[in-house]
Each structure stands twice: as C-alpha cells, then as structure tokens.
Structure 1
Amino acid sequence: MSVKILTINEKLVSAREEETILEAAREAGIHIPTLCHLNGVTDVGACRLCLVEIAGSHKLQPACVTKVAEGMSVHTNSDRLQKYRRTIVEMLFAEGNHICSVCVANGNCELQDLAIEMGMDSVRLEYQFPNRHVDISHDRFGIDRNRCVLCTRCIRVCDEIEGAHTWDMAGRGTNSHVITDLNQPWGTSQTCTNCGKCLNACPTGAIFQKGSGVGEMKRDRTQLEFLVTAREKKQWLV
C-alpha cells in the first residue's frame, strides 16, 4: 500500500492511496463541510458541499469521492467555494419547507449548522413551497418530506448496514423524493425491521420518532459507528 503526499490549504498531508480528499483532510484536522457524507456507508457526492479546488483543474471536485494523488494541491476554503456552499444551502432551504422554530430537530440539525457556518442570515432565492407529504403510518417513526434534503443517507444505511433496502428514491428533478417499498406507506412495509438506523442517519428532522416535540429529536450515531466497526473487523464471525 503506497502513501501519497499532497498539500491541502498549503499544508503537507500524507494519505493512503485509496483514501479520498475528504478522508485525508479530516485525518489532518482540516474541516470540509458535508451533508450527504456518513461514515460507514458509500459516498455518492450528492450534496456538493464538499467541493474543493484542485490545482490544474478548472472544475470543482467533490472531496468525498475524489481519490488523493501524489503531488496534488487542494484548496478547501476559498471565497469561491464559500459562495458556492452558501448558495447550495440557500437552495436547500428554498426548495423545501424548512421552518426551524417548529422542527423536532431544532438545535440538532446538520442543515441548520451549515446555515450558521455559511453565515446565512437570509435566503436570497425564491421559495418554491413544494407540496410534500408526511407519512406517520409507522408505529414508531414518521417522515416529513418537507424537511428532507435528498441526501440519501437513509437509503444507504438501510441497504448497506441493515441490509433491508426499505428506502429508495423516486421521481426526477424537483419531484424527487424518498419512498418505502415501491411507494407504499411506511407502516405497511414488509421489509422494514423497525431498527431506527434511518432515524439515526438522517441529518435533519425529516425522519423522526413519534412523540418528539420541538427541539427534542436526538440521534445516536454511535450505534451506526459500532455496527460499521464490528462489521469491518469481522467481530461477529464464528
């Protein structure tokens, strides 16, 4: 296994050849904002918040799926990138129905944290006010698609960690939305194991536990980290 030497924000960084820029940056203590990234599941580069500048390339590249290379020079926090990221966060707010003051995840929401990080004190885009449905047919959980940012973390964690593949994506463009079991109500799902991993993976208040009030939605990401670590180390194999 070879080691690659690159620079990130003028800092020399060493990384394994199979690592991504995001992994190398985080190991070096360099922050790159993300929303669709979740440790332990496959990266898809959906949110585009981790875009970085690479010397010699005119295109911005997503750090979560771009592999490191010898001599690579990366910048993660230029004015250009900050403008892109703020616009992306504003688009997420404008394209959904995010009202933090009445959300179960208020104060515990990654989208809210990103808005604060980007200095977003207003949305300069026109709100779309989409007609999105709420599904509370499940005994324990509910999904409010008004708060969904289409990160697909629920889909990937259900597929890759739980192995149920209850969740999937339907529609295209502004009509894209997550569904359960070929667009059936969640409560009628024949594949859902009621494990709650999708709840713990969701970055916003889109998937919530029934009975949660404003600001009461907490998540236990250590559950996912424990399962991923155990799987990688083959701790449950006889």
Structure 2
Amino acid sequence: MVTITIDGQRIEAAEGERILEVARRNDIFIPSLCFLEGLTVSGSCRLCMVQVDGGRLPQMACATPVREGMDVVTNTEEIRNQQRMLLQLIFASGQHVCAVCEANGYCELQALAQRLGMTHIMLSPRWPMAQVDLTHEQYGYDINRCVMCQRCIRACEEIEGAGVWAIRGHHSEERILPGLSGKWGEADNCTNCGKCVMACPTGALFDKQVATAEMKKDCGLLIRLVEHRERLS
C-alpha cells in the first residue's frame, strides 16, 4: 500500500492503482468519458487531467499510477477551464441536442456539462449530418453523437470477444464503424449482446425500441461480467 494526497485528503491506495480509480473509490470527482472500470485504459477523452506534485503540465488520472507521497490536485480553475473547453469541442463536433436524444437524462456527456457548469458553447458547431445506421435488427448507431471514447470497441473486444467495432480513417476524419462494410447489420461477428450499447456514454448507440429520454444504461453490468470471468479463470 502507498499513501497519497488528493485535494488535501490523505488516502491509502494499492500499488499499481491509477489516480482515477483511487479518486472514484473515495468519492472524489474527476471527469471522464473514455474510462470504464473493467476495460483497458484508452485516455482518448483527455478530460481526467489533474495536477501532480505541483507540475505545470497536467497528467491523465486514468493512466497515471499512484506512488508513495504523490500529491494530486483535481480542481484548480485552470484545470476546470481546460475541461470545459474540451467539452465544448466535443459538443461542437457532434449532434448533441439533448432534448431529442434517447439518452437524455442518462447521458454522461450531458451530466459532465452540468457538473462543470457549462451552459453554452462558444465554438461554431459542425452539425454533422451522417446517416443514422439502423441496419441492425435491434440496435441503432447515430455516428453524429459519437464522442470517440472507444468504449464500444473495448467492451466488444475485451468482454464479448467479437471485435465488431474499429476506428477507420485518419486524423480529423477518424470514425468508429462496425464491421468491414461500416453497416452494423452486415457485421457477421456481432452477437447481438448489447454490451457496446451499455458501454456507450451518450446516445450514439441505442436500442431501437426506446424513445427519447428512455435509454437507461447499466455500465455496472459490464463490471460484473468482468469480475465473474476473473473468478472463473
């Protein structure tokens, strides 16, 4: 065990644990969209930045392991401003109109914006108009609401072992798409398990049978599946 300090609070943590895991276990708020317990670390959203040992450059809490005597600060004004700017970039790059979204009220992106006091965006929105993929018999994919967190990729690969989702394209044209054709209904390796839908933090992946503001998701189910698999191994 090691002893660290987060926002002035002395906390014991296991060696190898990451800052974000320790903070969440102790009810200390650090925003994140790409992190999901039970999956490998991605670090793609960059929202979980914290100050470590007074350093000038913030570090990602999801990827930084704790060490003895570490001093972590999560809530400086500079950090909060950077997190709000990142959220603005996410909102501006997609179609995030909460009032008409299946995940309204259950969306992690929406909840983070409210928690960080973001009431509007100052950036010019792109308003992408890509066609919603409804080719799957049970689920739909609105790529306009995707935040590139990669949780669907990792849940599908690491828990279900199907490998349906992958990143396609380069740089600003990168997109997460299913199967070789890019149409979910044509992905023969999809098992219809819905784990990717449960892992999605927004309304990008949704059950076609739910309406606006009805898309409740149980990310804890994925954690329980991982724990059960570890007990059997």
TM-score, structure 1 as length reference: 0.94
Corresponding position of 2:108 = 110
Give the aligned partner of residue 29 of structure 1.
27
Q: Deviations over 1:7-51 (max 9, x none)?
A: 111111111111001111122221211111111100111111110
Deviations 1:208-238 (A, max 9, x none): 111321111122223212211101222xx5x
CA distance in 2 between counterparts of 1:230 and 1:11 reads: 33
Note closer, same or farther for the CA distance 1:223–1:26 as it changes in structure 2 (3 Å cut). closer
Give a deviation string over 1:41-69, Cα, whole Å, max 9, x none: 00111111110001253211000010001
Give the C-alpha shift of residue 133 in structure 1.
Answer: 3.0
Match of 1:128 in 2: 126
Q: Secondary structure at the match of 2:167?
A: strand
- Taking the aligned partners of 1:57 and 1:199, their CA distance within structure 2 comes to 38
TM-score, length of structure 2 as denominator length: 0.96
Taking the aligned partners of 1:28 and 1:211, their CA distance within structure 2 comes to 37
Whole-Å separation in 2 of the counterparts to 1:81 and 1:196: 35
Give % identity. Answer: 45
User: Aligned-pair distance for 1:134?
Assistant: 1.2
Aligned mates of 1:62, 1:32 — CA distance in 2 = 10
Residue 193 of structure 1 is matched in structure 2 by 191
Tell me whether 1:52 sits opposite 2:50 in the alignment: yes
SS of the residue 1:12 aligns to: strand
Structure 2: where are the runs of 5+ without partners? none
Indicate the RMSD between aligned Cα atoms, in angstroms.
Answer: 1.2
Q: State the alpha-carbon separation in 1 of the partners of residues 7 and 139 from structure 2.
A: 43
1:208 alignment partner, SS class: strand
Aligned 1:12-161 pairs, distance under 5 A = 12-161=10-159
Which AA in structure 2 matches 1:125?
L
List 4+ stretches of structure 1 deviating above 3 A.
Answer: none
Look up the SS of the partner of 2:12 in the other structure: strand
Number of residue pairs matched? 233
For residue 116 of structure 2, what is the amino acid of its counterpart?
M
- 1:87 is displaced (CA, Å) by 0.6
In 1, are the aligned partners of 2:180 and 2:187 still within 8 Å (CA)? Answer: no
Matches of residues 160-171 of structure 1 in structure 2 within 5 Å?
160-171=158-169
2:221 is equivalent to residue 209 of structure 1: no
2:141 & 2:223 partners in 1: Cα distance? 23
Q: How far off its partner does 1:146 sit?
A: 0.7
Q: Residue 140 of structure 2 aligns to a residue in which SS?
A: strand
- 1:155 to partner: Cα distance: 0.3
SS at match of 1:134: coil
Post-superposition shift, 1:130? Answer: 2.6
